[in-house]
Amino acid sequence: MTETSASVAAVDFSDIQGIVRFGYGQLKDAIFLLLKIRDAGAACSWLKNAPITTAEKLSHAPTTALQVAFTREGLQALGLAEDVLQGFSPEFLSGMAGHESRSRRLGDIGASAPQSWRWGGPGKVPHMAVLVYAQRGSLDEWVQTIQGPAWTAAFEVLDCLPTSDLGGAEPFGFQDGISQPTPDWGRVRTPAVDELEYGNLVSLGEFLLGYPNEYGKYTERPLIAANAHASSVLSPAEDQRDKLDFGRNGTFVVLRQLQQDVRGFWRFVDKQVASDPRARETLAESMVGRKMNGDAILPPGTQSIVGIDPKTVAQNEFTYDTDSDGVRCPFGAHIRRANPRNPDLPSSNGWLDKMLHTLGFNNPGYRDDVIASTRFHRILRRGREYGPALSPADAVADGPDTAEHGIHFVAVVANILRQFEFVQNSWMMSTKFDAMTEESDPLLGNREAVAGCPFTNTFSIPQETGVRTRIVDVPQFVTVRGGAYFFLPSMSALRYLALVGATKVSEGS
C-alpha cells in the first residue's frame, strides 16, 4: 500500500472486461446466467475460448457482449489456491449473505432476508455469473454461440435472470442510470487530502483493482509471488514490483435481484394525493429526487462540475448547496441519499474559515456537515430491469397484475465494503441519514422495526414555510430476491484461472 509513482502506465483496455467502461446500452437484450461449475477442467477449456468482450473501443460498436464473474465459491471450484484466494477482501470472501451481521447492515432482513432468496442465500450461492448481451432479437442465437462444446460438461445453470428493455426507465417508470461517476481512465487525478469541490471524476482505483484509489492507495487484492506456477500471464503489481497482481484490471460486481412492487408504489402515492395524476407524479418525483424523464429537480449550479459528461448537464450538473433546507429536493429523496454530492469540507472562505471547518466550528445548524464525503462512496451502476412495463396509470387502475417487476442491480466497485455496503447501510437503509429520523430510503427501505424507534416508515418533504409534510405508513416497495458478490477478473487473470484449473484437473487425474 505505497504511494503512486509520478509516471503512470497507460490503461490497457484489452485486459479489462468491457462492463467496467461500458453499460452496453445499445445491446437492448440481456440475460444473466448463474452457474455452478460441474467440472473444473471443462470450465477452464470453456473459459479459454469464451468470446469475452473487453473494454477496448472498436471502430464499430459491438453487436454482442459477454462478461464472466466468479464468487469465492466459484474461484475455489476452479482450483484457485487458497493463499491467493485469501488475498481478497473479507467481504468478498464472506459473501453478500455470508454473515448475519452483514445482512443486518444491508437491510436484508424480514421479507428481504437471504433465507428466502431465490438464489445467493444459504446453500444457493452460484459459482459464476455470465452476463450475456445482444442487439434486439439476437440474444438466443448469441447464447447458443457462447455456450460452445464444453458448456454442458462444464456448468449447471442454477438460474437464468432474464431482463427487459423498458426504454431506459426502471420499473417504477423513472429514467435510470443517469448519474454515473467518471472513472479517471487517463490517470490524471491526484486527490488532495481535502477536496473542496464535489467532483465526478473519480480515481480509477475505486472501480478497478491495481490502481490508486481516492486515498492514493492500492486497494487490497491477491498478489502472487513472481516465481509462482503459471504466473507468466500476470503482470507485476504497481505498488509491489516483486509480486504479480492477480487483481489488476479486475474488480467486483455486486449483483442483487430487487423485486419492485410497481402497483404498490403507485397506488400508495395515488392515495396520498387523492388520485390527482399530476400531483401523483410530483410526489413520486420528490421521493426519487428526479423528474420521471430523468431531469434534475434542482437547477444546474453556477460552477461546472469536473467529470460530468457534457451530454448530461441538464441531469447532473448540480449539487445540494443551493437547497440546504431540502425544500426543493427532500433530504431523504432516493438520489440525495445515494449520492449526496458533497465535498470533503463545507465550502469555506479563505484559509482561516477552512481551518475552523476542519476543527468542526462554523456550523450554525445542527445538521451542518454531518454527511460523509461522497467521493469515497461512489459506485458504477450497470443494472438491467426485468418484467413488463407498467405505467403509473395502469398501475393504479383495477385489474390483475401477476407479472413480477424489478431490477437486477449491478454495481461495479473495487472496495465492496467502503463503496456498495457503505452506501447501502449508512445512506439508503439508515433511519438516521443526514440527521433525520424515522425514515429510510423511500424506494429501497425495508421498513423493518429498529429498536427504540417508533417508526421507520415515514417520508418527510420540507416546506418553504411551516412544518414539513410527512408521509406516513410508507410500505415496503422493494424486496431482495437474490444477491451475491462476484469478482470480475481481468483477461489475464482469466487466462491464469484457466491455466491453474486445467493443471489442477491434470494433477488430480
Partner 1 sequence: MTPQSSFMILATILPARETELRQLLATMNHEPGVFNPANTLIPFGQFNTLHFARILILDDQSTNDITVYGMSRVDYPIYLAILGDCDGPADHFLAKMVEIAGTGLRSIFTHCDEFTPGADLLTWVKAHNVSSAANYVNWIGRTVRQVGEEEALRQAVEKFLQGNSLRTLQLQQQRVVLKKFVSTEQQAGRLRLTSPEKTPIGWRLQNVIHLVGMPILLLIFSPLILLALPFFLIQLRLLETTDPEVAPRVDPAHANLLASLEDYEVTNQFSAMGSIKPGLFRRLTMILVLAAIDYTARHIFNRGRLARVTSIQFARWVFLDGGKRVIFASNYDGSLESYMDDFINKVFFGLNVVFSNGIGYPRTRWLILDGARDEQTFKNYLRRHQMPTQVWYNAYPGLTAHDKHRNALIRAGLENESMTDSEIQEWLALF
Q: Which residues bind partner 1 (CB under 8 A)?
A: 1, 86, 90, 93-94, 99-102, 104-105, 193, 213, 215, 217, 219-220, 325, 344, 357-360, 363, 365-367, 369-370, 372-373, 376, 417-418, 421-422, 425-426, 430-432, 435, 437, 450-454, 462, 465-468, 470, 472
Give the three cell numbers for residue 360: 468542526
Considering beta carbons, is residue 257 or 431 the nearer one to partner 1? Answer: 431
> Which residue pairs, CB below 8 angstroms and at least 24 apart, start in 341-345?
341/198, 341/374, 342/198, 342/371, 342/373, 342/374, 343/194, 343/195, 343/196, 343/197, 343/198, 343/199, 343/373, 343/374, 343/375, 344/193, 344/194, 344/195, 344/196, 344/373, 344/375, 345/194, 345/196, 345/369
Q: In this structure, which amino acid lies at residue 114?
A: P
User: 256 CB contacts (<8 Å, ≥6 apart)?
Assistant: 96, 408, 409, 480, 482, 483
Q: How far is the CB of 421 from partner 1 (least distance, A)?
A: 7
Cβ proximity of 4 and 99 under 8 Å: no
Considering beta carbons, is residue 261 or 448 the nearer one to partner 1? Answer: 448
Q: How far is the CB of 95 from partner 1 (least distance, A)?
A: 12
Considering beta carbons, is residue 99 or 229 the nearer one to partner 1? Answer: 99
Q: Are strands 128-134 and 155-162 parallel, antiparallel or unpaired?
A: unpaired
Cβ proximity of 427 and 338 under 8 Å: yes
Considering beta carbons, is residue 464 or 507 the nearer one to partner 1? Answer: 464
Considering beta carbons, is residue 59 or 101 the nearer one to partner 1? Answer: 101
Q: How far is the CB of 460 from partner 1 (least distance, A)?
A: 8
Distance (Å, whole) CA 185 – CA 150: 36
Distance (Å, whole) CA 157 – CA 139: 17
Q: How far is the CB of 422 from partner 1 (least distance, A)?
A: 5
Considering beta carbons, is residue 58 or 192 the nearer one to partner 1? Answer: 192
Q: How far is the CB of 245 from partner 1 (least distance, A)?
A: 16
Q: How far is the CB of 444 from partner 1 (least distance, A)?
A: 17
Q: Could you tell me where the beta strands, DSSP code E, fall in 327-398?
A: 380-381, 384-386
Distance (Å, whole) CA 200 – CA 179: 9
Question: Look-up: residue for cell 429498529?
Answer: 450
Considering beta carbons, is residue 105 or 187 the nearer one to partner 1? Answer: 105
Q: How far is the CB of 217 from partner 1 (least distance, A)?
A: 6
Cβ proximity of 305 and 200 under 8 Å: yes
**For residue 500, how far is the Cα from the chain centroid?**
30
Q: How far is the CB of 385 from partner 1 (least distance, A)?
A: 29
Give the three cell numbers for residue 14: 484489452
Q: How far is the CB of 268 from partner 1 (least distance, A)?
A: 17
Question: Look-up: residue for cell 437503509?
Answer: 429
Three-state SS at 66? strand
Give the three cell numbers for residue 295: 431531469
Considering beta carbons, is residue 46 or 433 the nearer one to partner 1? Answer: 433
Considering beta carbons, is residue 253 or 461 the nearer one to partner 1? Answer: 461
